[in-house]
Amino acid sequence: MKLSQDDILHIFRETGALLEGHFILTSGLHSASYFQCAKVFQYPKHAEALCSQLAALFSGQNIETVVSPAVGGIVTGYETARQLGTRSIFTERQDGAMTLRRGFAVSAGERVLVVEDVTTTGGSVKEVMAVLRGQGADIAGVGAVVDRSGGSIDFGVPYQALLRLRVETMHPAECTLCAAGSRAVKPGSRDLKS
């Protein structure tokens, strides 16, 4: 059964994964809303349902490998790869730069799909794409569970998202929540230490 945008929002609300407050996003921007996919993916039935729908958007495109950025995209990438019948690898930050570690590599011409849980500016995905292009991979497309940009991100390859919303983001210097005295929290994984 294909999940509608409303169905997907319901899953995020039901699992407590759609947070309201004052947040610092991976991009450094501030927002009053945060999509915590990890809270959705703690339930394998939701991971399977969402990622099977994401995989279906890229079926028949000869994807050989799904690549995702750590940490948030790992489960999304893995389950999407499982649904496509391909391998799954991930990039990590080392000394601040996105890289393939743990013996992961792609071959020149290898057809890859980049998968992320949530995109706002697309910065992490673009870093992953640069790593893959540096190894000569053929990037077939980008997939995400949630696109907070409302579809305004251009990766230069086909981009599909299950849930597309325009969610307000603010630069820290212009943040109305900060101006009102609210303290921002950073629930993401960008600053995890290896």
- Residue-wise pLDDT tens digits, 45-88: 999 999 999 999 999 999 999 999 998 899 999 999 999 999 99
| H/E stretch holding 71 | none
- The pLDDT assigned to 167 comes to 87
Q: For residue 192, what pLDDT is reported?
A: 47
Residues 140-173, buried b or exposed e (16+ Cβ, 10 A)? Answer: bbbbbbbbbbeeebeeeeebbbbbbbebebbeee
Question: Looking at the domain assignment, is residue 187 inside a domain?
Answer: no
- Compute the average pLDDT of residues 122-145: 97
* Domain assignment present for 116: yes
The domain spanning residue 45 has which CATH number? 3.40.50.2020
The percent helix, strand, coil of the chain (3-state, each to 5) is 30, 30, 40
Q: What percent of the chain has pLDDT over 90?
A: 86
* pLDDT at residue 189, as a whole number: 58
143 part of a folded domain? yes
Is 194 inside any structural domain? no
Q: Position of tokens 């991976």?
A: 26
Mean of per-residue pLDDT scores for the chain? 93
Asked if the structure places residue 185 within a domain, the reply is: no
The answer to whether residue 74 sits within a structural domain is: yes
Q: What's the total number of domains in the chain?
A: 1
> Is the pLDDT reported for residue 151 higher than 60?
yes
Number of other CB atoms surrounding residue 63 within 10 Å = 23
For the segment 97-104, the average pLDDT, to the nearest whole number, is 94
User: Which pLDDT band, with edges at 50, 70 and 90, does 26 fall under?
Assistant: confident
Does residue 189 lie in a domain region? no
pTM equals 0.90
- CA distances to 55, 116, 142, 155, 175 from 145, rounded to whole Å, are 11, 7, 11, 16, 26
Q: What is the pLDDT of residues 159-194, one digit of tens each?
A: 999 999 998 889 999 999 999 999 999 886 555 454
Q: Residue holding tokens 């706002």? A: 120
pLDDT of residue 57: 97
Mean pLDDT of 31-39: 92
Range of the domain at 75: 5-179
Per-residue model confidence (pLDDT) at position 27: 83
> Does any domain span residue 40?
yes
